[in-house]
Amino acid sequence: MNDKKGIIKVTRMENFIVSARKYRPDRFDTVVGQESITSTLKNAISTNHLAQAYLFCGPRGVGKTTCARILAKTINCQDLTDDTEACGVCESCKAFDSSRSYNIHELDAASNNKVDDIRTLTDQVKIPPQVGRYSVYIIDEVHMLSTSAFNAFLKTLEEPPPHAVFILATTEKQKIIPTILSRCQIFDFQRITIDDIVRRLEYVSEEENIEAEQEALQVIAQKSDGAMRDALSILDQIVSYTGKKITYADVIENLNVLDHEYYLQATDAFLKGDVSSILLLFNDILQKGFDGHNFISGLSSHFRNLLVCKDEETIKLVEAGSAIREKYREQTLRCPLKFLYNGLEVLCYADINYKTSLNQKLHVEIALIRLAKLNMDTGKSSETGGEEKPHNSKLAEKEKPQERIKTGVSAEKKEKPKTDNTGSSLKSFSIKDKLKENGKKEDEKKELNPGNTRDAVNEAEVNMDFDEDDLTTAWNSFGDTLKDSSPRMSSIIKAMKPVIEDNTGIVLNLNNQAQKDYFDQKYKSAVLKHLKNNLKNNKISFRTEVVENNKESSTPYTDDEKFKYMAKKNPSLNDMKNQLGLEYE
C-alpha cells in the first residue's frame, strides 16, 4: 500500500496450501477407506513379495496415486517401522518428502502417450538407482496411452530389471488392453463411504480450528460422491465463504443443495392429498433457482430413505446425520408402504422422461399431482398409515350374505341396458366397477361373519357371470395370442364356435378324432386357463367332443389330413409319394 511519501510497501502473505495437498496421506495407516488394499501392500513389503507391476484402478479422488507414492516411499525406506511403515527420517524418506528423490519417476500418460515417450521410459529403466533399492515408475492415467505405445511397453513391463517397479493408475480399466492387464497385479479401489469422509473432515476441521456442524459435513460428504479429494476441495470452498464456522444452512446455500425440509413438507402434502400446497411449494423451489429434475431426483432419494427407515435393520442405510435421521423415522410412521412403493414408481417414471418432455415444469407438476392422489386412492389414513373403515357399515347389517356375494352363475336373467330415444345406453356394465363393488361387499361380509368369509370372497372375486357373447370375445382373444407363432391355427381356432353347457361348462365340437387328439394335446389346457382369466370365473370346465355323423372336415387339420386333401384334388401326388418314399412332415 502507499504511505504519505509515496513509497509502496508490500505485505508478504503466507502461501495457502489446499487441504487436498496439505492433508494428503504419507503413510499407509492414514489412507482413508482402502484398508484391504493397504494391508495387502504392507504384507507384500514385509514378506518381500513385491510384484514387478501394479495396476491401481478406481474412480477419481479415492487414493490411487497417493497409495502409489506411499508404496514407492516405503519400499525405498532404509529403516522400516515394526508395522511396515516408512520411518520418515532416513535420507530416502526426506528426499521423497521434499520432492527431490531420484528413485521415483512419475509420468502423465495423458500428455506422454506416444511410442517415443515409452521408448524414452524403457531406456531410462535400465539405469539402476543411486540411493535405495528400487526405481519406481508411476504412470498416471495409463489408459490414455495409444495402442502402439502399449505394445512398445509390453516387453519392458513383462521382464523389467530387478530394480524396477511399475505402478499404473487409471480410472478406466476397461480401456487397457488385456496383454497389459495380464502382466499386473490389479487393485480395485472403492468409493469412500460417507462415514469415512465425515471422520476425515472432522479431523481436518480440528487441525484447522474450524467449527463445523455434523449435518454440514454430511452434506459435503454426500456432494463429494465418494471422492476424498473433492470433499476437501468443497471444505476449502465453504471456509472461504463462511470463515471458521460452518453451519448446515451455509453449506446448502453455497453448494446450491435443496434443504431436506422441502422434501419433508412435500411428503406431508402428499399424505394429506393437498395438491395446492405441493404446487406452490414446487413453484417456490423453481423461483429459488433449483432445477425441476434435481427436485425429482432428491424426492426419489427422500422416498427411498423413508422406505428403508421402516425397518430397524435397514435404517443404517440412510446416509444422513442423526437429527435428520430422526425426522425420517418420525415421518415414515405416517407413510403406508403401498404409498411409498407407488410413489417411487411415479418418481422413477418422471425422472426417466424428464429430458424428453417438451414442457418439463408441467411434467413435474403432473407427477406431483399423481403423488398427492396416491394416498387417497389407497384408502389409507395419513395420520396412522392404517386402513380406513368402511363408510357404509349399516348396509352390511341389513343385507344378508347370500344376497351380496355370488357363489355361482346367477339364476336371474340378464336385463338389457335401457336406452334413450337415440339408442344410446343409459347404464353401461364395467367389469372394473363390478370388481370394486364386490370388494366393498367383501368388507361388509367380514363385519357380519369375520371368521368364515375367505372362501366366499374368493368365489366372489373369480366367479363372474358370462354369456355367449362374452365367451365368443374371450375365445377370439385366445386365437389372437397365436397370431405371431401360428397364423393359420389362429384363424382356424377363431373360426370355431364353442358353446355353453350347464352354466359353467364349455364344449367345443370337432369333426373327427384326429382333430380332437391334436387340439387336446396342444391347446386344451391353455384354452381353459385363458377362459378362466378372461371370463373371471374359476368354475369353468372345458371339454372337446367329436360330432357324430359329420362329414370330413373341409379344413385340413393334421399333416395326414392336409396330404389327403391335396391328393384328393391331384391323385398323382400319391404316385409321387410312393415312388420317392416320402413321409409326412
**153, 41 Cβ separation under 8 angstroms:** no
Whole-angstrom distance, CA of residue 453 vs CA of residue 433: 21
The whole-model pTM stands at 0.57
User: What pLDDT is attached to residue 430?
Assistant: 53
- 82 Cβ contact partners less than 8 Å away, ≥ 6 residues apart: none
User: What pLDDT is attached to residue 241?
Assistant: 85
Burial label for 33, CB within 10 Å (0-12, 13-18, 19+), is buried
- 6 Cβ contact partners less than 8 Å away, ≥ 6 residues apart: none
User: What pLDDT is attached to residue 577?
Assistant: 76
Residuewise pLDDT in 10s, the chain (585 residues):
455 455 555 445 467 788 888 888 888 988 998 899 999 999 999 888 888 899 999 998 899 999 999 999 999 888 888 888 888 888 888 888 888 888 888 888 888 888 888 888 888 888 888 777 888 999 999 999 888 888 888 888 888 888 899 999 999 999 899 988 998 999 999 998 888 899 999 999 998 888 888 888 888 988 888 889 999 999 999 998 888 888 888 888 888 888 888 999 999 999 999 999 999 999 999 988 888 998 999 999 999 999 998 888 888 788 777 778 888 888 999 999 999 999 999 999 999 999 999 999 999 999 999 999 987 765 544 444 444 343 343 333 444 444 444 444 344 444 444 444 444 444 444 555 555 565 555 555 544 444 444 444 444 445 788 888 888 888 888 888 888 888 888 888 888 888 888 778 888 888 888 888 888 888 888 898 888 888 888 888 888 888 765 444 455 556 677 777 787 778 877 777 777 777 655
**CA pseudo-torsion sign 434, 436, 439, 445:** negative
Query: What are the strands, taking DSSP E only, across 502-539?
Result: 505-510
Whole-angstrom distance, CA of residue 160 vs CA of residue 50: 13
Reading the block at residue 171, the C-alpha cell is: 480410472
Which of 343, 345, 378, 349 has the alpha carbon at shortest distance from 267? 343
User: What pLDDT is attached to residue 341?
Assistant: 92
**71, 26 Cβ separation under 8 angstroms:** no
User: What pLDDT is attached to residue 360?
Assistant: 92
User: What pLDDT is attached to residue 14?
Assistant: 60
Name the strand (E) or helix (H) holding 585: none
Whole-angstrom distance, CA of residue 74 vs CA of residue 564: 90
Whole-angstrom distance, CA of residue 577 vs CA of residue 581: 6
- Domains contained in the chain, CATH given: 19-188 (3.40.50.300), 194-254 (1.10.8.60), 265-377 (1.20.272.10), 468-554 (3.30.300.180)
Name the strand (E) or helix (H) holding 415: none
Whole-angstrom distance, CA of residue 425 vs CA of residue 430: 13
User: What pLDDT is attached to residue 266?
Assistant: 93
**296, 364 Cβ separation under 8 angstroms:** yes
Whole-angstrom distance, CA of residue 112 vs CA of residue 145: 8
